[in-house]
Amino acid sequence: MKKLWIGVFAGLVMASGSARADEGADLAKARECMSCHALDKEVVGPAFKSVAKKYKGKAQAEDMLVKTVVKGSPDAGGFHWGTKKMPSPGARVAVSEDEARVLVRWVLAQ
């Protein structure tokens, strides 16, 4: 019986991780992130895998990227990727802070 519960728990944990991954991908499509980004190639913005590689292990990366996703790049400077800027919410689909956190965690996990 103990082995059965361990197996059920492990299955739920694995399914939960998969559901979170699907949530990020689904949200990226729903908020039209994929209009400017792709998983593995530059479009208008950088590839999500390139973003993950650039910010891997950087302590403040998640918070900085969440802020950028919510508000866009700052008007003065604030470039995160060459001279390309994230548009402000008025120029694209708005994303809440909670949604941005899901998106950024998904991107950083690539």
- Known binding site: residues? 33, 37
Among residues 38, 8, 29, 25, which one has the least CA distance to residue 106? 25
- Give 56-61 contacts, CB < 8 A, sequence gap 24+: 56/108, 61/108
Start-end of H helices in 41-84: 48-55, 61-71
Cβ–Cβ under 8 Å, residues 48 and 8: no
CA-CA distance, 16 to 37, in Å (whole number)? Answer: 26
Binding-site residue numbers for heme c are: 33, 37
CA-CA distance, 86 to 97, in Å (whole number)? Answer: 15
